[in-house]
Amino acid sequence: MKKLLLGLPIAAALLLSACGETAVEKVDKEKTPAASEKKKDEEKKDQVYKIGDTVKINDVEYTIKSAKLSNGQQYVEPSKGKVLTIDLTATNKSDSKVYISSGEFNLSKGDEQLENYFADKAHIGADLNKGKTISGVIQYDVEGPGTYELIYTPTFSLDAKEIKWKISVK
């Protein structure tokens, strides 16, 4: 019984240490930055990315490949008038499986958070094995052209790090 009581705090400490601080960084495809060239966390905190940027958080790289407006599906019309389809790719660079879901993303325009649109295409949502890449879409019910902000917040993270993309569609 004493061994069990001594082992519980040690196991809890190991689990908590594995859930350390979330690191967010933009991936530069042209060159790998040296440690001395990395930006401070304060500078990255308010960083807003754009379509085509690859951003790494918790050893997973996310790239928004495109954002397009459509009319939605024939029998499930969007209530606001248009559907914004965001094409996303995620690559797991970690040593373990990670969960990727469209539910971890939120879209807003100004002060309004917009609702997902689920009738047209299969949304991204799966366990992603180490070293693998997944592509899929996230869709939102929107009024039409404009500038939107997409925010990703990882589900299994102890801190509140997030990635923001500015998405302009015509």
Number of domains in the chain: 1
Q: Is the pLDDT of residue 116 over 90?
A: yes
Quick check: is 6 in a domain? no
Quick check: is 103 in a domain? yes
82-92 and 133-142: which strand pairing? antiparallel
Average pLDDT over residues 133-138: 94
Question: Residues 42-78: pLDDT tens digits?
Answer: 555 579 999 999 999 989 999 999 999 999 888 888 9
Quick check: is 3 in a domain? no
Question: Residues 6-56: pLDDT tens digits?
Answer: 444 444 443 333 445 556 777 776 555 554 445 545 555 579 999 999 999
Beta bridge partners of 90: 62, 134
Range of the domain at 38: 21-169
Burial (CB count <10 Å: 0-12, 13-18, 19+), residue 164: middle
How does residue 156 score in pLDDT terms, banded at 50, 70 and 90? Answer: confident
Are 113 and 76 in contact by the 8 Å Cβ rule? The answer is no
Quick check: is 60 in a domain? yes
Quick check: is 13 in a domain? no
Average pLDDT over residues 79-88: 95
Quick check: is 32 in a domain? yes
Phi and psi dihedrals of 34, rounded to 5?
-75, 160
Q: What is the CATH number of the domain that holds 141?
A: 2.60.40.1240
Average pLDDT over residues 85-89: 95
Report the sign of the C-alpha dihedral through residues 50, 51, 52, 53, in that order.
positive
Quick check: is 107 in a domain? yes
pLDDT of residue 16: 37
Quick check: is 9 in a domain? no
- Averaged pLDDT of the chain: 81
* pTM, two decimal places: 0.74
Give the gyration radius of the chain's Cα atoms. Answer: 19
User: Residues near 68 by Cβ (< 8 Å), separated by ≥ 6?
Assistant: 84, 85, 87, 169
Q: Is the pLDDT of residue 131 over 50?
A: yes
Average pLDDT over residues 125-145: 94
